[in-house]
């Protein structure tokens, strides 16, 4: 079974040793990082990376790569081999990255691997998105789904009214699942792009299509009843928890400035 896990990175950083991990360089850097693929080769939407984030690699993998299993992770976020490693150093965390043997084992009984859901507890996925981002993007996504895939609307409503969601656009899946989901996703997002004016958004909020897709992944998985396993996410590098917690409370009070 051929497995390829695409590691999205705009930096020339350390990568896992296992050859199932394929580093893919994104962004406008003219330097080609040694040992990296680039998302601006073959059929691609590399130029849209500031708005689509890691989805430019997902699109590239869908259009250009052939494997039995495809996956998407980040240079700072990997699936754990099964253990949480919150207090470990980055070097120690690298030893806990999901192995090819574990992937094979999990996919014997599942069609995909997703991160543990993030629980919001005091709000729904919809209200969290509204507090954190410009809600019009999600509203327009619902509108487009209603026009193109009305049978998905009940699943959309179910997902946005939950208090937990799979984050980071991370997944590992059998290729038919990865490619089918990606095809559906890119039948929706370009239409949303045409209808939402992001010219006045901050650079952060211009990542709109990456934010929307975090919710749409759950919508597609819900509608198609995809069987999946969940694993912890390893965050490689330092986390500014004071800033994260501060922003969390500002958003809940409606004081965060989305356009800044």
* Tens of pLDDT, residues 122-163: 999 999 999 999 999 999 999 999 999 999 999 999 999 999
Q: Which pLDDT score, from 0 to 100, does residue 55 have?
A: 98
* Alpha carbons 223 and 154: distance in angstroms, whole number: 8
* Alpha carbons 128 and 131: distance in angstroms, whole number: 5
Q: Is residue 159 part of a domain?
A: yes
Q: Is residue 100 part of a domain?
A: yes
* Tens of pLDDT, residues 92-128: 899 999 999 999 999 999 999 999 999 999 999 999 9
Q: Which long-range contacts (CB under 8 A, 24 or more apart) does 81-89 make?
A: 81/231, 82/231, 82/232, 83/232, 84/232, 85/232, 85/234
* Tens of pLDDT, residues 42-70: 999 999 999 999 999 999 999 999 999 99
Q: How many domains does the chain have?
A: 1
Q: Which range marks the domain in which residue 196 is found?
A: 3-252
Q: Is residue 115 part of a domain?
A: yes
Residue 219: C-alpha distances to residues 90, 157, 201, 204, 234 (Å)? 33, 9, 26, 24, 24
pLDDT band, very low/low/confident/very high, at 241 (cuts 50, 70, 90): very low
Q: Is residue 257 part of a domain?
A: no
Q: Is residue 260 part of a domain?
A: no
Q: Is residue 85 part of a domain?
A: yes
CATH number (domain holding residue 140): 3.90.550
Q: Is residue 120 part of a domain?
A: yes
As a whole number, the mean pLDDT across the chain is 93
Q: Is residue 258 part of a domain?
A: no
């Amino acid at each position: 079974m051929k497995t390829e896990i695409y590691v999205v990175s705009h930096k020339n950083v350390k990568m896992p040793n296992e050859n199932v991990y394929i580093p893919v360089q994104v962004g406008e850097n003219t330097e080609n990082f040694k040992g990296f693929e680039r998302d601006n080769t073959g059929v691609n939407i590399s130029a849209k990376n500031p708005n689509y984030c890691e989805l430019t690699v997902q699109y590239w993998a869908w259009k250009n790569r052939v494997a039995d299993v495809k996956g998407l992770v980040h240079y700072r976020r990997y699936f754990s081999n099964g253990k949480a490693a919150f207090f470990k150093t980055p070097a120690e965390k690298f030893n806990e990255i999901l192995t090819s043997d574990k992937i094979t084992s999990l996919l014997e009984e599942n069609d995909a691997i997703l991160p543990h859901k993030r629980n919001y507890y005091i709000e729904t996925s919809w209200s969290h998105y509204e507090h954190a981002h410009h809600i019009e993007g999600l509203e327009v996504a619902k509108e487009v789904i209603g026009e193109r895939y009305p049978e998905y609307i009940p699943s959309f409503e179910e997902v946005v009214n939950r208090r937990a969601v799979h984050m980071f656009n991370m997944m590992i899946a059998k290729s038919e699942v990865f490619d089918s989901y990606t095809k559906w996703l890119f039948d929706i997002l370009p239409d949303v792009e045409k209808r939402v004016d992001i010219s006045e958004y901050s650079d952060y909020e211009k990542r709109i299509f990456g934010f929307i897709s975090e919710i749409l992944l759950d919508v597609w998985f819900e509608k198609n009843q995809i069987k999946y396993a969940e694993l912890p996410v390893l965050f490689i590098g330092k986390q500014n928890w004071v800033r994260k917690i501060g922003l969390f409370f500002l958003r809940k009070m409606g004081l965060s400035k989305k356009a800044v």
